[in-house]
Chains A and B, each alone.
Chain A
Amino acid sequence: MLRIKSDKTMQAVKQKRTFGVAEIILLLSIAILLIVVVVPVALIFFNAFFVDGQFNLADLVKTLGEGETYQALLNSLFIASGVTLCATAVGTFFAWLVTRTDIPYKGFMKGMFLVPFMLPSFIGALAWKMLLSPRAGYINRLWRDVTGAEDALFNIFSFGGIISIETMYLFPFVFIQVCGALERMDPTLEESARISGAGLFTITRKITLPLVMPSILSGALLIMLYSMAHFGTVAVLGIEVGIYNIPTLIYERIHQSAGSFDSIRTGTVLASVLVVTAAIIIWLQRKILGSGKYQIIAGKSFRPMELKLRGLRTPLFIFCLLYIGLTIVLPTVTIFLVGGLKTYGIPITWENLSLENYKYVLFEWDQTQQAIKNSIGLGLGAATITMFSGVMISYVIVKMKVRGKGILEFLGMLPFSVPGSVIALGVILAWSGRFGINLYNTIWIILIAYIARYMAFSLKANSAALEQVHDSLVEAARACGASMWQALRDIVLPLVRPGMVAAFFLIFLPALRELTVSVMLYGTTSRTIGVAIYTLNEDGETVTSAALAGIALILIVTGQTIINHFAKTKQA
């Protein structure tokens, strides 16, 4: 007995002393995060806070106070607050409607309300520009023709326009969180209020809403974070009339003054503001979810009571259909129709429509062909690399017991709080020859930026999958005589494979339509689909831009359908 005991301690000591596989994996994980995320962000902070190698806060404050910069900060804050308020209200209302009332076709509507997640918002903004730009927009023209009015019905090039469009595409963040909370909530929490004498209205106000408040707030903060750092909508609808937010101003500065020190500095200062804001928002979100995580989940099978809408049932149903039609169907149809026109502005009639633009974009014009190839290649590359490194890093964070893991845990949080335009600026600083490697204007710099941008997705999906794999499963394999590697290969890997597949597609699909990062990094041969759509539109090639956007939509929807199908068969 004593002998066995001493053998074991020997082994333990041995494991500690050697520089084993665990340490190698840990160091590799730290290295990846350092190179991909930490160095770029550190360079941004360095450039923002140091002038000529000296710490200089006064200059930073001065830069922030300058007219355009200050205005962009205010705009970002104003737009983000407006979007957060509107989208939270819309998301909560629809979530309540599909989970707690007897509105018809709930499943269908729930699916439709999640569609905006899929659609790139800058394509939506393009569609709305085609419909509501003050002079040429189809709806505004129709309005003038019908009423004889001088003014446009609605000018989309405005704060109101930007906030409305972002609301349309961001409300699902709140919708999905609140739906989840309402569906998982123990129905007896509401029933016990009811038996206590409370009517449905009182219950909603005093019990249901307070209980799902953490979910509402956390969704709202996500929207805030997203909107602050959002490029596409403001770029399409704001730049034309001089409305800049932080990301669009960074883009403008970097793009127009081709790498001059002043413009880079303004960019880094703005980027620092974004990083700090994002960090605060994420910290707040974690705090809310951490403190307010009520135990409201129970496994009883009785369904929650549904509010009978009675007379309001049909009007509310029609309202939902109108909303879906207006925010999803109309813009999508507009893109495809305009993509079929010979020139933008002519009436949409059968005679004016053809498939010429689509043919041109797909088979004839090498610039768009290359953009499609680039995006698919970048998507596959980034998704593969990020998926594998994500699984490794998550494994260290979730499962391994090595010293120095704390650093990795901290570094692993970083990708979540670094917005796209910050990453783009960071990789410009890091990979433009400063460290001897110059990737500027090549496709590789975009790949690196994508990896940094999507690392958060991969870490999230993979650590969620790994947390499901209980330690005892590995221990059982070890007890059966498997080595650590065999246990990993035969037990852990098969169990986390769905998480890895999920991570792959979570990266591949958004990468296909990426704009924020690529627009700051593209060169003549490294356009992506997003960049091509955006620049074509800027150059006035509206119909070609629409045709390419239509093709992008088909690619995205097909991809999403395949995944959904895949996920469903996996579950069954």
Chain B
Amino acid sequence: MSVTLTNVTKYFGKVKAVSSLNFKISDGECFSMLGPSGCGKTTTLRMVAGFEDLDEGEISVNDVLLSSSGKKYYLPPEKRNFGMVFQAFAVWPHMSVFENVAFPLRLKKINASEIARRTTQALEHTSLLDVASKSPADLSGGGKQRVALARALAINPSVMLLDEPLSSLDPHLREEMRFEIKELQKIYGFSIMYVTHDQSEAMALSDRILIMKNGVVQQIASPLEVYTKPANRFVFSFIGLSNFTNMNVTENAMTLDGVSVPFVEGRAPSGEIISAGVGTVASRPNEIDFVDHGGIPGTVMRRTFLGEVTDYQILVGDQEVRVQKGRYVSGPQEGETCHLRFLNPLWFPVEK
């Protein structure tokens, strides 16, 4: 089933929390909303769920209207038939695991044997059969979140709303649950609307990612495209570690804080080549090489061994550049001079 948001806007007091959102989640897609806290992603999810009214715009599923500010029409959340998982688990401690999962089915007035069958199935798919009669209060964080997932699955929803479902779990478990959610999606075939502030989570799960800042959409694209063709500086910095280095560009020379440097090849995300003026080179720490000559000169301020990689903090002109190299690369020592070459950098206009 597809979910369509048209011109959706939400104010909290005078603050525009969500600003003219337009997108469509297609059937079976995993769609993530990514952004720093307070960017409006959770508010958007709650508007889709029906917990928040809209100040402008409409939300519909398969052309059936759910919310419309113009028509003052809001289908209550309990009638939307969505599955939803919350950050803080929200499993009911006064019911057993089984009863938690059976709850939505009991409300649907289906017969007892069918309830038992579908509950058992959901519990089986989330590996909870063994603890079905326990109280969810006795389960670990991961167990509780599985109960919440099973409960959302029980009614076999066509759309699953996930509000930072993994951020209360420890990192190891988080990674494991990611794959489980993907597996469940394959079995049940629902569309996912996924809210997170963790970029690697969004990358791993999504077909498309929406990146949001202060209620405004920055980019909607596939994980690969977001990484390789970020729409702007904010998106670049939000997806992974980043360096921004300001440079002066003339016809056939470049200067960095007054020092003339070799020409840096690169492209702007929109495709055109930066010609002249002041620009910012955006680079990833692991996409910079140490070269013997022909690179940008710098001084190693600090060198830190991090295990998988060694982290270098390098002063280039008056600006700092971080470089990360695998531990087999013998890089320069602290205090030494070195030469850097950017691999595939991007050019952005200088931010004021």
Chain B residues in 8 Å Cβ range of A197: 78-79, 81, 104, 107-108, 155
Is A300 in contact with chain B by the CB < 8 A criterion?
A: yes
Q: Are B103 and A196 in contact (CB under 8 A)?
A: yes
With both chains docked as a complex, state the minimum distance between the C-beta of B192 and any C-beta of chain A, in angstroms.
Answer: 15
CB distance from B343 to the nearest CB of A (A): 43
* B46 at interface, CB cutoff 8 A: yes
Contact between chains at B94 and A194 (CB < 8 Å): no
CB contact list, A205-259 vs B, under 8 A: 206-207, 210-211, 213
Tell me if B78 and A195 are in contact (CB < 8 A): yes
Contact B87 A193 (CB under 8 A): no
- Tell me, in angstroms, the Cα distance from A192 to B137 when the chains sit together: 16
B284 within 8 A of A: no
With a CB–CB cut-off of 8 A, which chain A residues contact B155?
196-197
A183 part of interface (Cβ distance < 8 Å) = no
- Residue among B79, B81, B87, B90 with the most chain A CB within 10 A? B90
Is A191 a contact partner of B92 (Cβ separation < 8 A)?
Answer: no
CA gap between A313 and B107 in the complex, in Å: 28
B84 contacts chain A at the CB level, 8 A cutoff: yes
For B46, the closest partner residue in chain A by CB is: A302
CA of A193 to CA of B76, assembled, Å: 12
> Quick check: A195 and B88 within 8 Å, CB to CB?
no
Question: Does any Cβ of B come within 8 Å of A295's Cβ?
Answer: yes
The reply to whether the CB of B269 lies closer than 8 angstroms to some CB of chain A is: no
Given A192-B148, A295-B137, A305-B51, A199-B78 contact (CB < 8 Å): yes
In the complex, chain B residues whose CB is within 8 Å of the CB of A295: 93, 137
Give Cα distance in the complex from A252 to B16, angstroms. Answer: 70
A330: interface (CB < 8 Å): no
The CA-CA distance from A305 to B83 in the complex, in Å, is 19
Residue B226, interface by CB 8 Å: no
For B84, the chain A residues whose CB sits under 8 A away are 191-192, 195
Contact for B94 among A191, A199, A294, A305, CB less than 8 A:
A294
- B78, B148, B161: which contacts A198 (Cβ < 8 A)? B78
Assess whether A202 is interfacial by the CB under 8 Å rule: yes
Q: Are A198 and B107 in contact (CB under 8 A)?
A: yes
Cβ of B156 to closest chain A Cβ, rounded Å: 13
Contact A189 B151, CB 8 Å, known A195-B84, A197-B107: no
The smallest beta-carbon distance between B308 and chain A, in angstroms, is: 34
Q: In the complex the two chains form, is B77's CB within 8 Å of A194's CB? A: yes
Q: Is B290 in contact with chain A by the CB < 8 A criterion?
A: no
Q: A197-B78, A199-B78, A211-B94 are in contact. Are A191 and B104 (CB under 8 A)?
A: no
A290: min CB distance to chain B, Å? 13
Residue of B nearest to A186 (CB): B88
| Contact status B103-A188, CB under 8 Å | no
Give the residue of A186, A202, A296, A298 whose beta carbon is less than 8 angstroms from that of B107: A202
Q: Is the CB of A195 within 8 A of B49?
A: yes
The CA-CA distance from A189 to B91 in the complex, in Å, is: 7
Knowing A202-B107, A210-B94, the reply to whether A192 touches B81 (Cβ < 8 A) is: no
Can you name the residue of chain B whose Cβ is closest to the Cβ of A296? Answer: B93
Q: Are B93 and A191 in contact (CB under 8 A)?
A: no
B97-120 contacts to A, CB under 8 A, are 103-104, 107-108
- Evaluate contact between B94 and A192: CB separation under 8 angstroms: no
Given contacts A191-B51, A195-B83, A295-B137, contact A211 B92 (CB under 8 A): yes
B93 near A294 with CB under 8 A, answer: yes
Are A196 and B94 in contact, CB atoms less than 8 angstroms apart? Answer: no
Seed contacts A192-B91, A192-B148, A213-B94; 18 additional CB < 8 Å A-B pairs: A188-B87, A188-B90, A191-B49, A191-B51, A191-B86, A192-B151, A194-B51, A194-B76, A195-B83, A196-B78, A196-B104, A198-B103, A210-B94, A211-B93, A211-B94, A294-B93, A302-B46, A302-B51
Q: What are 10 residue pairs bridging A and B, where the CB atoms are less than 8 Å apart in the complex?
A: A188-B86, A192-B151, A194-B76, A196-B78, A196-B103, A197-B79, A198-B107, A210-B92, A210-B94, A213-B94
Instruction: Give the 9 A-B residue pairs with the shortest CB-CB distance, closest first.
Output: A196-B104, A188-B90, A294-B93, A188-B86, A298-B88, A195-B84, A192-B90, A197-B107, A210-B94
